[in-house]
Structure 1
Amino acid sequence: MITHALSPVHTRLASFSSLRAATTTTLQMSAAPPRHIVVIGAGIQGTSVAYQLHKRSASFPPHSSITILESQAVASAASGKGGGFMARSWGNGVTTGLHELGFDMYEELCAELNVQSYRKLPVLSVAPGRPPSNKGNQQSVKERNPSLSDVIPDWLDGSVGRISPLGLGEDTAQVTPKEFVEKMMDRMMNANCSDGGLSFKLVMGTCTGIDYEEGDGSKSITGVRYTANDKEHTLEASDVIVSAGPWSCKAEHWFENSVQLPMEGVKSTSIVWKPPLDHEGKLKSVDATALFCGEDERFGTHLEVYPRPDGTVYICGIGGSDYISTSDLQSSAFLSSCPPKPDRVTAATSAFHAMSNTYAQKGELQTVQACMRPCPPDALPYMGTVPGYSGAYINAGHNCWGIAWAPACGRAMAELVLDGECACLDLNPFDPARFTTSSKRGGRGRKKGSLSVGEQW
């Protein structure tokens, strides 16, 4: 094979061509008008979108900005009250990419952001049990399951039935979502912004509408209207991304009914146990194993149990959920206050006490709360553009996997906004315009592939 080295003249010409191309790109960016992107919602989804946009600051023209508009507080709803469980291989069909990309990104982002609550952990399926008839010859849970003794937690020392592994920690993990949101927010807030560089801010207020200009067959976004302290305000905007959880269905009115976003809010109670104490009153460590428990007819529960690195234990799957209609969500139902159900707290406590003598004897509740997960009729998220508008996007309705998918959704929406298309995922199944009217309900619960394993109601 004959090779030809470039002559010095050709080398200089190649270098000059590269420099000219780079200079042309820089000039084009400098000449482009600034982009002012407004993300509605400061939960884990909205903040993830803003963070992934912020990480691509070099893609913005000078004097551009990213603003998050939030009506309550950062991570005030499900993002501040969710369990934070993720599973790489539990996707099914169109959600496979969301599971895999989200899981992989979490490991990278949590290291980047110094998130302390992220860790991989094993997961067990646990059937409810009954008290043994012969208490004098009772084997421990570990003795009855010797092949799983290394991952069965010490606090699982009560009455349980069959135990089997759902994951041994290679593709299952957890994070405390509120910490993840706050770390992303802090990074954007504290980023050094040189003169003319990309700026970021958080604005507290309630969105009331979208401003636009007509032209070229579409409506171009120009602003986002909101109220704060009983006064009307407008944020300048070239782009708007609605990512307000179950209340994102309000966008039907903001976009003058050009898109219909049927949504059901599944309002569920959850509880958090304090770290246990030993006989000297010191904090005991809590084994890092999550549990997905079968339905316990005695209490009407289907517990999901997540021990956290700080020693607390988060429990959901308590049952008795309420289903909030689209029209009620559009009227801000449970936006500012989302109370738990006392009877479900009692049921969950009883179910957990039956499983764990440790917590039955020495456990103490720390937090009792409730939140909503957003569920479209087909249980798939809305991710994409709003028809008839230029610069308008929806990223909402992620059901019970919204926390696990958040990094992937953030990257996908950032690519769509900045590049005009998404390269990391196929967003076609999540088209926000796929519904006109529908009353069909999809699956509400957590699944491993097509197998129901988590809270189903």
Structure 2
Amino acid sequence: MPSQQKPKDIVVVGAGIIGVSTAYFLSQHPTFDAKSTTITILDGSEVAAGASGKAGGLLALDWHGPPTASLAELSYGLHESLAKQYDGANKWGYRQLDTLSVQTNTKGPRRKAMVPSEIDWLDNSIIEKVGVLGTTSTTAQVHPRKFCHTLLSEAEKVGVQFKLGHVTAIKESAVEYEDESGNASSIPSDCTIVAAGPWTSTLIKAPISATRAHSITIKTTEPVTPHALFTEMTLKSGKHVSPEIYARSDEVYVCGEGDEVEPLPRKASQVKVVESRCDILKQYVDELSPVLKNGEIGVKQACYLPTVTRGSGGPLIGKITDNLYVAAGHSCWGICLGPGTGKVMSELIMDGKVQSADISYLNPQNLL
């Protein structure tokens, strides 16, 4: 596809936040015309079946290094504007919040920390240090699965189509896939964007690995203040752990360390959950919070994070050939950088250049 020519058939491979955001911003581009251009999202599982449906959803404005700092600033602002445009506070739990580091020692703190008075759901007697990582000006949160579904719904209103299909090959003018019945099929494409997260490297040559992460949600009987906590805990057993805790409006999300024990399955819907790894997360936070201890686990889940193993370590975002693009490898920052990635991809495809952010460090041609 010559750079000055608008694509006729766009296929986005992957229905996570990167793929959905890309399709959405393509559909919102001033030159997009549904009568002359089709946009189809292909995924072998449901929308946000992987990390985009199971992540904590923390957004941070200024936690990013040079490769992604500009993109993060763009994306953080887009999260805020999309929430205002589509009532994100109610539809996907968007809210600004304070983010703290919390150091505990259940065996007995060496010193007593000053815990903000509004945080009344922690056991202050074991907390020995509290630090501010972000404020309501620099950190926020979303429920990622709800965000993805809402954004796709808005994109579908202007012609974007979602199709269930496990992609098997990407050709110059078509994308081949297996339909829900396992039958081989294909769809025309003169512009293919691979946004398949950790599955990207199964479709194109890309230095992206997969790390599994478990998480849980906890339903509490008492209200929990809007805070995100990054902990360093010394448990009663003497073990050192670092669970992350994100309080949502209707539940509390907890995640822990990743593992590479189980290889990446064929589809996101086939990810194996080790219940014991989820149960132990609850045991960790039970020592920090009486409110969480009295709560019940709502969901036990696992997903795979896509990590670029060479170069800056940041995601790969850009053109590979005239009709093939990639947007993948965001690691734990996929939710935060999702809208920004979709925006710059729409500019690159429709305008031939990116104007909203500096993504020069992330050019896939530097590594592929």
TM-score, scaled relative to structure 1: 0.73
Counterpart of 2:337, as a letter, is: W
Is 1:339 the counterpart of 2:272? The answer is yes
Is 1:270 the counterpart of 2:194? The answer is no
Tell me: CA distance 1:75–1:357, structure 2 relative to 1, closer, same or farther (3 Å). same
Unaligned residue ranges in structure 2 (runs of 5+):
none
Is 1:224 the counterpart of 2:175? The answer is yes
Aligned equivalents of 1:245, 1:307: Cα separation in 2? 26
Counterpart of 1:261, as a letter, is: A
For residue 169 of structure 1, the aligned residue among 112, 129, 136 is 136
Tell me: CA distance 1:333–1:234, structure 2 relative to 1, closer, same or farther (3 Å). closer
CA contact (8 A) 2:168 2:203 kept: no
Q: Deviations over 1:261-280 (max 9, x none)?
A: 02211101111101x22xxx
CA contact (8 A) 1:270 1:340 kept: no
Partner of 2:64, secondary structure, is coil
Tell me: CA distance 1:315–1:62, structure 2 relative to 1, closer, same or farther (3 Å). same
The aligned length equals 354
Deviation at 1:53, TM superposition (A): 0.4
CA contact (8 A) 1:35 1:60 kept: no
Counterpart of 2:114, as a letter, is: N
Deviation at 1:320, TM superposition (A): 5.3
Is 1:98 the counterpart of 2:71? The answer is yes
What does residue 149 of structure 1 align with? 117
Aligned sequence identity (%): 31
Q: Deviations over 1:175-232 (max 9, x none)?
A: 00011101011112234xxxxxxx32111101122232xxxxxxxxx21111111212
Aligned equivalents of 2:288, 2:271: Cα separation in 1? 28
- Larger relative CO (CA 8 A, sep 6+): 1 or 2? 2
Superposition CA RMSD, Å: 2.2
Q: Deviations over 1:84-113 (max 9, x none)?
A: 001101111121112211111100011212
Aligned equivalents of 1:341, 1:348: Cα separation in 2? 12
Partner of 1:187, secondary structure, is helix
Partner of 1:421, secondary structure, is coil
CA contact (8 A) 1:299 1:347 kept: no
Aligned equivalents of 1:358, 1:131: Cα separation in 2? 20
Tell me: CA distance 1:105–1:96, structure 2 relative to 1, closer, same or farther (3 Å). same
What does residue 206 of structure 2 align with? 261
For residue 242 of structure 2, the aligned residue among 287, 290, 302 is 302
Q: Matches of residues 396-435 of structure 1 in structure 2 within 5 Å?
A: 396-435=328-367
Partner of 1:384, secondary structure, is strand
For residue 282 of structure 2, the aligned residue among 324, 349, 352 is 349
Partner of 1:294, secondary structure, is strand
Partner of 2:21, secondary structure, is helix
Runs of 4+ in 1 over 6 A off after TM superposition: none
Tell me: CA distance 1:77–1:263, structure 2 relative to 1, closer, same or farther (3 Å). same
CA contact (8 A) 2:31 2:350 kept: no
Q: Matches of residues 365-404 of structure 1 in structure 2 within 5 Å?
A: 365-378=297-310, 379-386=313-320, 389-404=321-336
Counterpart of 1:123, as a letter, is: T
TM-score, scaled relative to structure 2: 0.90
What does residue 24 of structure 1 align with? none
Deviation at 1:357, TM superposition (A): 1.6
Partner of 1:58, secondary structure, is coil
What does residue 236 of structure 1 align with? 188
Which structure dedicates a bigger proportion of its chain to strand? Answer: 2
Higher Rg of the two aligned structures: 1
Partner of 1:370, secondary structure, is strand
Partner of 2:203, secondary structure, is helix
Unaligned residue ranges in structure 1 (runs of 5+):
1-31, 134-138, 192-198, 213-221, 253-259, 278-283, 437-457
Partner of 2:85, secondary structure, is helix
What does residue 127 of structure 2 align with? 160
Is 1:185 the counterpart of 2:152? The answer is yes
Deviation at 1:59, TM superposition (A): 3.6
Tell me: CA distance 1:397–1:132, structure 2 relative to 1, closer, same or farther (3 Å). closer
Tell me: CA distance 1:232–1:57, structure 2 relative to 1, closer, same or farther (3 Å). farther
What does residue 219 of structure 1 align with? none
